[in-house]
A and B are shown apart, each in its own frame.
Chain A
Amino acid sequence: STAAAERMSGLYVDNGFDQTIVHRVISQREKREVEHEILNLLGLPDRPKNTAARPPQVKRSAPKFLLDIYKNALGEDEDEKPIGEQQRRAGEFDLTGQDFRAIDQSDVIMTFAARNHHVPGVRHERGKRLWFDVSEVPPGEHIISAELRLYRSMDVKNWRKNGSYMITAYRVLKTENGTRELQYVDAVNTTAGKEGWLTLNVSEALDHWVNNPDGNKGLYLSVHPADRSVHEVRPEDVGIVGFRGNPDKQPFMVGYFKSSGIRESKVR
């Protein structure tokens, strides 16, 4: 950082023998300034939003997921060479070979917690709408892939815990006059007795939202019995945990990005 170098130049001098020696000890204020410059260089110039009173916790599903990747899927020596297949563990989030490939290719992996974001004119039937704030995606990042992660719990009190279900994600397109237009994104089958994380490929939806922020009206989640014997059912009736469920089981989206190589230090 040029600013940091200029600031540092007053603190260290060349002794004439091509050695840098300490000229004087910096003050607390200057120390804070230099620390801020380093954070700026890392792309972390400020404390995260809304965390001044209570520091964020790692108990939510999204931070837990990335901590799981950090612990289990990255090489210990942080070298260019990825960790060996046999050393990798699926972990709590059932990471697959496809996930490991995306992790290896990524320079940035970002999670987005599902939110209850009201969009005027959108009526819900039995399905669930999930909205994600993707405004913090760094500009110029190439999207490798994105997936929606949903947790299916066995803690379902009614009859619907049995049978097979098709979970389909649609992108909400228009909301004029209360009518809704949906575009198919991806679907996954789940069967009775299966508890754990389900993943849907939402790469196209994330790409659309990043490039068209005004068009971000979220995803519509529709659940049907696989044999279509009855109409759409509510996701929670088959055990899908919503954004009001247990913090470590809440739905979230994860995006894998390849860096453009442009340093995005923010101007202060």
Chain B
Amino acid sequence: PKTFTVRIVTMDAEMEFNCEMKWKGKDLFDLVCRTLGLRETWFFGLQYTIKDTVAWLKMDKKVLDHDVSKEEPVTFHFLAKFYPENAEEELVQEITQHLFFLQVKKQILDEKIYCPPEASVLLASYAVQAKYGDYDPSVHKRGFLAQEELLPKRVINLYQMTPEMWEERITAWYAEHRGRARDEAEMEYLKIAQDLEMYGVNYFAIRNKKGTELLLGVDALGLHIYDPENRLTPKISFPWNEIRNISYSDKEFTIKPLDKKIDVFKFNSSKLRVNKLILQLCIGNHDLFMRRRKADSLEVQQMKAQARE
């Protein structure tokens, strides 16, 4: 069969595959998951960018029918699309935890997720534990972290501190994590990170019916409306179990609350394409929200049993 080359970029590797012309998104996605040995596939997706808008490969649509650049290798990023409500309970496999750790760490360092200075230092210390193992002053000599990107620039710029002083601060915490294996250190990292307000939120620039600029946030728990100046605390939240229906028509998006006394919330997003993405993220997040509130599937039960062994 005729094939074309795809390049898959994960948080820590790049791979190339020969993809058959007729393959659907699912065929490629499954191949990537198998190659990675990843079984908790439901959190992930293959992302591409089209005209500055993020898009995700649809499982039931042919890879080549997507609006991707046909120049080979066709490139996709294998990333977490949905986030667990509780990393420790839901992320079973080490590979899943590791990919989440890498993705969330990057978001924090890139300041996509706001993280206060103290928490940033603590997170850095767990990242160091994960990478270097137990602290040993005879091995980890002054300057051993000099080449590492460990803190968001905003945090570094807040204080009059030299790199040596930062290293000292981080190392003081790092020394406390003695005995933690890599996977444990990464899980401790995620447990702190998941409490940050912006963790797991997909933000979209929207305008309400009066034309006021706002942000819509989609996450594991529901939909949130923010003032663009404050991405931390929503002005309004619509938890999944208080929503009756969501829909879009062209650039308009409607959230219909369950309670008829609460006003329907309508807004406009910049493009029809964005509304499609919002709806996709809503369906996926709500699906996981419901599944969490049911008993574990047989597959997850088996994985948890294996992980315990």
Partners in one complex: no
Binding site for A on B (CB under 8 A): none
